[in-house]
Structure 1
Amino acid sequence: MRKRFNPYSLPPWVRQIRDVGIQIIVPLAIFQGIRTILFPTSFDVLLLAVLILLALAYHYDWL
């Protein structure tokens, strides 16, 4: 059986980094999406995919 993740068991500095990451990742993904539409390169598409996966991981509490 898998142990449930409890964010309050983390040290305060890790929780603060996690909270800042949650606030920054969505606007950054939107900006990168617009940039990818205007100037598509393989790096931009890869970076956008990573940002979207990271945003989903934060949303579903995988991180």
Structure 2
Amino acid sequence: MLKITGMTCAGCSSGVHKALSKTDGVIEDDVVYPGDTFTITYNAKKTDEKTIIDVIEKLGYKAEKQKS
């Protein structure tokens, strides 16, 4: 699970979802606002966590791995 900071509305989470859905290898994502977290299922042969974080950060948000 990743934590996304900087989202201010449901439109923000929708924008993140749209960007992730266009990312090769992303199978499913669930962006939650408020709460600023999301879970994602992806094909590790096509993408990785760093790429996913880069997609989110290019939108102007901060993404980081949640500590267990």
Same fold (TM > 0.5):
no
Per residue, is there more helix in 1 or in 2? 1
TM-score by length of 1: 0.31
Per residue, is there more strand in 1 or in 2? 2
Q: Which has the larger radius of gyration?
A: 1
Where relative contact order (Cα < 8 A, 6+ residues apart) is larger, the structure is 2
TM-score by length of 2: 0.29
